[in-house]
Structure 1
Amino acid sequence: LLRNREKIQFPFCLMSVNITRIAIQALREECLSRECNRQQKVIPVVNSFYAATFLHLAHIWRTQQKTISDSGFVLKDLEVLAKKSPRRLLKTLEIYLAGVSKGQSSLLGAKKCCGPQAPYSKDLTFTGVCDLQPHSSEGTWLI
């Protein structure tokens, strides 16, 4: 689960499977062909596309305070965007990573600069499975 200070839970594994599906479909439907041809590479483009799509999803989830009940709608919108504008997602990832390398962003979250190219404004923390604690006798887990 991904969470921030507001304790918004993010179903990381579930979303990872769905983004993998989106990336494979985008590749099969030739949405990534132009970028693959431009770079003369396939696997690195698909990897970057996956990361860019996940980055966008995390941003939407955090800024719009989505919950698991919103996930179907969020994924549907994300899939449309990913197939329609893959270059836009990839460019956002490039800008984000450039900020990380210059110390303007943290690796897990936030742009520290302002402006229209700085949509990621809060640090994220990840909770591993080992950090989960059982909740009473109900068999549910708390983070």
Structure 2
Amino acid sequence: MSSGDDSADPSGGRANAYLLESDDWDNIKALPLLDLSKQTDPEYSNTDVSSLASTRITLTVTLDQILFHFQNIEIAEQLSRIQPIQIRSGFYGLMSRLFCLNPQRLDSSLCDERNRVFAVALHPFSNHDAIQTKFLITIYQKLTGNALMDRRFGNHWEDIGFQGTDPATDLRGVGLLGLYQLLYFILSPETSHLCKEIYKLSLDKRQHFPFAVMSLQITGISLQVLREGLLNKEFNQSKCVIKVFNWFYSAVFLQLFNTWKENNKTIIDSGYVLKDIRKLVRKDVKRVILEMLNYKNNFQTNSNCNDKNTQQDITFTNLGDIFENIDIIDENTS
């Protein structure tokens, strides 16, 4: 539950005060990753909040339910507005053209799955879809351990790093994809430990930051990398998109976590940190992915020192090998 004293709640009111006052944070939020804020959507603007304010939801969701929703949500209107490909600009774009370093072309069999990712990122939250509300409740309950809090609206959302009483208003830059990826990060056994570590850091008295909003920023950065085709090689090798894309999102979050923790960053530094992370992950996608794998292997080794398979150093010549045994959201899962 939220405290009425913002100064006593580093994860809530005080963090959000920084969000409103920090020029650096405002600048990074203005990055044109997916600009839905200029669009008027009835799902965001015409909802009768008063009729929903007392809605109570008691059930949480599973990874299978999230995947089913991702695969089946209607996206025809959003598909007409996506921009799935963007030519790189600036220094890296110039170097790519000079030295013929353009990204590998995505296999045609994977284009529909990639396009669905972009379309879902344009799909707004709907208060009329009960499972979407369950998505939010699951995020709150799993992060805080408070199974009794099931209110759709309220100040309690600031506890986990949303900016106000209605978390849906923070999704306009990345749509439902922002919820999907945060749920994946929380629920997947491959990433849940890292999620807990990052969430714990977000509550630190000095290094606190708004966890949920930061996750949405990471989704936005990941979408930009996807749009520039920088993950195509990994998609082709693993023969899937969403599995690799979710893993990459986690890998980007790991980069931010390491930078934030090791360099004693605070909310004042957030804009600069996000800009640096955005540059870093675009520069070397493979290294970012492998560092996430190393984190996973090190955690498994520490958790089970008697498991010989997790104590061995693993070298991959094909990044597709990474994803063969990873139990995360995969569109090919039945």
Residues 48 and 90, structure 1, Cα contact 8 Å, conserved in 2: yes
Matches within 5 A, 1:59-98: 59-98=258-297
Instruction: Report the secondary structure of 1:10's partner residue.
Output: coil
Is 1:47 the equivalent of 2:242?
no
C-alpha displacement of 1:53: 0.5
3-state SS of the aligned residue for 1:99?
A: helix
Q: Percent sequence identity over matched residues?
A: 38
Give the Cα–Cα distance (whole angstroms) in 1 for the partners of residues 246 and 263 of structure 2: 26
Distance in 2 separating the partners of 1:67 and 1:80: 20
Report the TM-score, using the length of structure 2 for normalisation: 0.30
**Which structure 2 residue ranges, 5 or more long, are not aligned?**
1-10, 12-199, 305-334
1:100 and 2:299 correspond:
yes
2:214 maps to which of 2, 15, 18 = 15
Match of 1:22, as an amino acid?
I
Aligned length: 105
C-alpha RMSD of the superposition = 1.9
Q: Give the Cα–Cα distance (whole angstroms) in 2 for the partners of residues 59 and 6 of structure 1.
A: 18
Q: Is the 8 A contact 1:8 1:67 kept in 2?
A: yes
Partner Cα distance (2:291, 2:211) in 1: 20
Task: Specify the alignment match of 1:131 in structure 2.
Answer: none
In 1, distance between residues paired with 2:210 and 2:256?
A: 11
SS in 1 for 2:234: helix
For 2:271 and 2:204, locate their aligned partners in 1 and report how far apart those are by CA, in whole Å: 24
1:32-61 CA-to-partner distances (Å, cap 9, x unmatched) read 111111111110111110000001101100
Q: 1-side partners of 2:204 and 2:225: how far apart? A: 34
Instruction: Compare the two structures and name the one with the higher strand fraction.
Output: 1
CA distance in 2, matches of 1:13, 1:87: 26
Q: What residue in structure 2 maps to residue 140 of structure 1? A: none
Larger radius of gyration, structure 1 or 2?
Answer: 2
Of Structure 1 and Structure 2, the greater helix share is in 2
Distance (Å, rounded) in 1 between the aligned partners of 2:292 and 2:205: 25
What is the Cα deviation at residue 10 of structure 1?
2.7
Where structure 1 has 5 or more consecutive residues not aligned to the other structure, the ranges are 106-143
Return the alpha-carbon distance in structure 1 between the equivalents of residues 229 and 289 of structure 2: 15
What SS does the aligned partner of 1:66 have?
A: coil
Alignment deviations for residues 57-88 of structure 1 (CA, whole Å, 9 cap, x no partner): 01100111111111111101101111111111
